Amino acid sequence: METGFDWISRYGDAAIFLLLMLGIFGLPVPDETLLTFAGYLCFKGKLLLGPTLAAAFLGSVCGITLSYGLGRLLGLHAVRRLGPMLHLRPEHLAATQRWFEHWGKYVLIIGYFVPGVRHLTGIVAGASKLSPVVFARFAYSGALVWSSSFITLGYVVGEEWKHPSQQLQLVMLIGATMVLLGLAVASLVIGRRANPD
């Protein structure tokens, strides 16, 4: 059976889109590793950086939007019952609910960086009837930061993409955190301007 690496090597951006859509929706796909590999292929000149970033972003957006729709349509009770068929672990669903109750819509941004949580944030957001506009603003911002972070990591480390140094991982983590904070502040400012009361 072909691996995700084979698919990306053979089909390029179309495979990146499909694999990330399925991975974010909940299928067992090694998302971060595939994104880093895609960045490496951009470094090697086998893929173009712009279209690869777009494919990763759009795949992530489609996957989380499908999850959101599923949660909104079925609710958490039905999702729990379908859990084994959807590869959802009850403990991950419970953890995501707690995160969502504590952090609210910001979990849609932060959740991408937490395996086991990222696959469920859309479902929990949909089941909690979070408005589609708020969902899109936060989930799609998170998709952009998350996908571009790991593609950039693969591009920057080049041949060392399989074994990035701990120092480089720390730099990427700090950079991603700063971008997340910037997005959160920008969202708050835009939200206050739209609702000045």
Q: Sorting pLDDT into bands at 50, 70 and 90, what band is 1?
A: very low
State residue 192's pLDDT score. Answer: 65
Tell me, what's the pLDDT at 63?
95
Higher pLDDT, 185 or 133: 133
**119 DSSP 8-state letter:** T
pTM value is 0.77
Q: How confident is the model at residue 162 (pLDDT cuts 50, 70, 90)?
A: confident
What is the DSSP code string of 45-91? TSS-HHHHHHHHHHHHHHHHHHHHHHHHHHHHHHHHHHTTTTT--HH
Phi/psi at 119 (nearest 5 deg)?
-75, -15
Other CB atoms closer than 10 Å to residue 42's CB: what's the count? 21
Give the angle 193-118-163 at the CA atoms, nearest 5°. 115
Distance, CA of 166 to CA of 102 (rounded, Å): 30
Residue position matching structure tokens 């720390």: 170
CA distance 146 to 160: 20
Range 131-169 burial, b when 16+ CB lie within 10 A, else e: eeeebbbbbbbbbbbbbbbbbbbbbbbeeebeebeeeee
| Range 157-177 average pLDDT | 63
Confidence of residue 17 (pLDDT cuts 50, 70, 90): very high
